[in-house]
Amino acid sequence: MPGVRAQLRPDLRRARPHPDSGRPPRLPGEQSHRPVPLHRGAGAGAAHDRCAGRLPGQRGAAVVSGHVVADVLAELESVRGGRAIALLADRLDATHAYALYECLRGRERTERIDLVLFTSGGDVDATRRIALLLREHADRLTVLVPDHAESAGTLLCLAADELVLGPMAQLGPIDPHVSAAGEQAAGPGRISAEDIRLLPRMAGEWFGLDQKADQVHIFSAVSQRLFPTTLSTFYRADRNIRRAARELIALQRPGLAEEGRTRVVDELVSGYDSHGHAITRAEIARLGLGVTMPSPREEELMWRCAEPLREWHTRSDENGGLLGMVADAEGFRARRFFTAPTPDQP
């Protein structure tokens, strides 16, 4: 986005761009620092001013949203009994894994973590790391989804023993997307691996080409538009997402046979004709995953927990927009913002 740079406040370590993350390469002026846990109490606001650094001209809004999330998580803990953590992110990447580690480290393994998740997707490998990190720190993992948990967010959901999905919960297909920038000026910037895989089928159904007889010509036509190693990148991305998904499903359903895990993964990768397809909680339940409905009070708290990210995303002014947050009920908070550069910055 022209004239915009990404910053972390308090900082999470920066991740390298990944083909499936949907994020552009590192932006000029992007900075990072270690996340700072903040404690609730009389001095929390002052600590936030020093460590996180409000944007010039902003008073209160950013601070209030963080403390509201902590209060909501505390109430959620009193209702459900587990340790509540919020992971709210536009795109999941390794920075969130580091922030989550800071949130979890130094604490004893707990009986259950209730993760409130709101994300549009992100990096496959970072998401797998986040899922494994959560499993290492709890005997049982519950993921509560009030709104979006699409793409890589859906991958993370596969690691949960239980999915608590609100009425507006929306999961999505996990077919990997790879950047094709520079391959052809008129083509899309990112292409799904499924688009490449289905080319022979499309050629047969639309144009009557015999997939076996004409496969050399089809491959030749594709290779003229995409460098051959780019095609192998699509192939590896598809293998990677399927492997990660099968691994995480095994954590949720250890008794499910390999054939059953493959069936679920095939449906999530190849069963939908649009990456934007909204997979409802009824569809997830039909896949055999552990889905429960929240109580009215739980749904209210889940929805309120996602408000900071939803509020910033609907603002017409993107200056200071919140890109992500990791928080718990005890005052830990690490957040990521979009900030407009000063005139002397690129």
Q: What is the pLDDT of residue 65?
A: 57
Average pLDDT value for residue range 63-74: 76
Model confidence over 301-342: pLDDT tens digits? 999 998 877 765 554 444 456 678 899 998 888 887 665 444
Q: How confident is the model at residue 24 (pLDDT cuts 50, 70, 90)?
A: very low
Q: Which amino acid is at 89?
A: A
Asked if 62 contacts 72 with a C-beta cutoff of 8 angstroms, the reply is no
**CA 207 – CA 169 distance, rounded (Å):** 39
Q: Is the peptide bond before 228 cis (omega within 30 degrees of 0)?
A: no
Name every residue whose Cβ is closer than 8 Å to that of residue 225 and which is 6 or more positions away in sequence: 183, 184, 187
Domains of the chain, residue spans: 5-172+278-339, 176-271
Beta strands 148-149 and 177-179 are unpaired
Distance, C-alpha 107 to centroid of its chain = 24
Does 63 have pLDDT greater than 70? no
**CA 307 – CA 43 distance, rounded (Å):** 24
Q: What is the pLDDT of residue 335?
A: 80
**CA 192 – CA 180 distance, rounded (Å):** 10
Distances from the Cα of 166 to the Cα of 83, 281, 300, angstroms: 19, 8, 9
Distances from the Cα of 59 to the Cα of 55, 63, 65, 88, 145, angstroms: 8, 8, 12, 22, 30
Does 71 have pLDDT greater than 50? yes
Average pLDDT value for residue range 110-122: 95
Q: How confident is the model at residue 82 (pLDDT cuts 50, 70, 90)?
A: very high
Task: Name the residue among 229, 255, 258 with its Cα closest to residue 243.
Answer: 258
Q: Is the peptide bond before 188 cis (omega within 30 degrees of 0)?
A: no
Does 60 have pLDDT greater than 50? no
Helix (H) or strand (E) holding 206: helix 199-207
First to last CA, the chain: 13
Residue listed under structure tokens 């699409």: 150
**CA 310 – CA 323 distance, rounded (Å):** 10
Write down the mean pLDDT value for the chain.
75
Count of C-beta atoms within a 10 Å radius of residue 57: 7
Higher pLDDT, 76 or 48: 76
Asked if 250 contacts 261 with a C-beta cutoff of 8 angstroms, the reply is yes
Q: How confident is the model at residue 29 (pLDDT cuts 50, 70, 90)?
A: very low
